[in-house]
Structure 1
């Protein structure tokens, strides 16, 4: 079974995260929806729990199958992660040349977030296990770090709890709930407690999948359409207005959205499954890991070297150029980097949302 509509949502969510990192522009500042769009990282985590349960629950039966599962996920995550890490390193070397020989840059070159220890941690996917006091190198990769270790814990949890999803979810969410209560309902963590944030949302996605398989859905096309439109409106409202103490509720809302749209029974989901939108899901992982580098490169080129003024028109040009460059780079990395460790047969097979759930 393919989850084409929610796969397209994943691509849209990746674009919203890009816009979140552009909110410093006068053009986008003051938009509450964009200012809180980093919460869509939790949508990735919930969706990952949903599709991983769908695709791998029946395959994990012993330690050997856990090993195969972890290797498969590593092969899917690591090539693009290390590729973007090396690109960031090259860009920092370029910044060093600009800073020394062209124009003095406001931000220091090879600052604390780009140290040798953090580079090694990024190579080992440990950069977001509370080893540093900030995100390092390619900032969005913090979520790749915690998701990889979430996969390991989840697979081992299936064995420990004898594949009892309710028991696994109850214990895992109980521990996460204690942590969240200690932090006032806030789950907006990354370099420090991002693993707990990811586990919390992932387990919600796991239980959402179990619920979606057990509940009968006998709604009409019109009822599904009304539910989908309502959920889109609620998503815009809740993302625009939630506060940090309420952030623990957002993965629960995303789970409801995923359950409904995974059925592809209404007018919105029928639109999202159209072939013209499929590339959003395919490129979402590349969009996510490539975008901060592209934003930094374009900022240096357009505003520091070309010296564009910070007018609305110049900022609009910057946004359009950034989105276009992210897309072009992502087409390249999707085709030539992301799947490099996959088997030949996997490369030739069409990818579904299950195959591509990575962030």
Structure 2
């Protein structure tokens, strides 16, 4: 089964994260929706829980099923993470050369977020388990760190409780509710409590998938379209206006979006499920992990070295070049980096028209701002 519409949503959410990291530009500053688009990381976590439940819930029954599941997830997540980590290291070495021999840079080279210890932590995907007081190296990779360990905890939970979903949910959400209350409703964490943030949204995604199997499907197309339009409007309004104290509710809203759009029964979801948007979901992981290094390189080259003016036209040109370069680089990394450890399968050997949007676990990734 394919969830093509929500897969396209994942790609659009990745683009919003890119724009979030460009909001320092006068062109984009002051836009409330862009300013809070980092919350879309929770959309990725909820979607991850939804699809992982679809593809693995019935497989994780005994301890012997844990090892192949972890290995499969590691092979899917790690190659691109390692590739972008090395790119950030090379770029920092390049900055060192520029700072020393060309022009003094305002931001220090190999600052506190780029130390040897944090580099080693990134190699082991432990950089966001409360070991440091900031995000390190390739910032968005914090979510890859916490999601990988969320996979392990989730799988262990299913095995230990033998799929007693009610008991697992009661225990998990009781602990998570205690954490949320203690932190005044906020789940906006990354390097410190990012694991808890991910687990919360992931479990909501799991329950959303289970709910989707119980909700009747006999709605008319116009009813589905109306629900899709309503949810899109609420999402735009909520993302633009939510506060940290209300952030715990955002994964619930994203769950509703995924529940409705995964049916692909309305006009908007049918449109998003088409092949014209398939590349968004296919390249979303690369968009997410590639974008900060591309933005940093182009900022140095265009604004610092070439002296591109910070006019409306100059910044518009910068944004356009950034998006084009991120897309081109993502096409490359999707083809030659992301799937390098994946075994050959029909999904990979089929024509491009049948590849995008599949929900096999080899196609799933997450992001973050």
TM-score class, shorter: over 0.9
Residues 118-164 of structure 1: CA distance to partner in whole angstroms, max 9, x if unpaired? 00000000000000000000000000000000000000000111112
**1:192 matched to 2:192:** yes
Give the TM-score normalised by the residue count of structure 1.
0.99
1:33 and 1:353 map into 2 onto residues whose CA distance is 28
Instruction: Find the counterpart in structure 1 of residue 15 from structure 2.
Output: 15
Question: Is the CA contact (8 Å cut-off) linking 1:10 and 1:44 kept in structure 2?
Answer: yes
Instruction: Find the counterpart in structure 1 of residue 247 from structure 2.
Output: 247
Structure 1 gaps, min length 5: none
Instruction: Find the counterpart in structure 1 of residue 320 from structure 2.
Output: 320
1:303 and 1:348 map into 2 onto residues whose CA distance is 42
Cα deviation for residue 218 of structure 1 reads 1.5
Alignment equivalent of 1:353, drawn from 337, 351, 359: 359
SS at match of 1:95: helix
1:292 and 1:164 map into 2 onto residues whose CA distance is 41
2:331 and 2:172 map into 1 onto residues whose CA distance is 37
Structure 1 ranges of 4+ moved more than 4 A: none
Query: How many corresponding residue pairs?
Result: 359
Cα deviation for residue 217 of structure 1 reads 2.3
Residues 80-111 of structure 1: CA distance to partner in whole angstroms, max 9, x if unpaired? 00000000000000000000000000000000
2:248 and 2:148 map into 1 onto residues whose CA distance is 21
Structure-to-structure mapping, 1:273-352, within 5 angstroms: 273-345=273-345, 347-349=348-350, 350=355, 352=358
Question: Is the CA contact (8 Å cut-off) linking 1:143 and 1:194 kept in structure 2?
Answer: yes
Cα deviation for residue 74 of structure 1 reads 0.2
Cα deviation for residue 248 of structure 1 reads 0.1
Instruction: Find the counterpart in structure 2 of residue 152 from structure 1.
Output: 152
2:257 and 2:349 map into 1 onto residues whose CA distance is 31
1:13 and 1:313 map into 2 onto residues whose CA distance is 25
1:169 and 1:11 map into 2 onto residues whose CA distance is 29
Question: Is the CA contact (8 Å cut-off) linking 2:5 and 2:273 kept in structure 1?
Answer: yes
Structure-to-structure mapping, 1:1-359, within 5 angstroms: 1-345=1-345, 347-349=348-350, 350=355, 352-355=358-361, 356-359=363-366
Over the aligned positions, Cα root-mean-square deviation in angstroms equals: 0.9
Bigger mean CA deviation after superposition, 145-154 or 307-316: 307-316
Question: Is the CA contact (8 Å cut-off) linking 1:281 and 1:353 kept in structure 2?
Answer: no
Give the TM-score normalised by the residue count of structure 2.
0.96
Cα deviation for residue 348 of structure 1 reads 1.9
Structure 2 gaps, min length 5: none
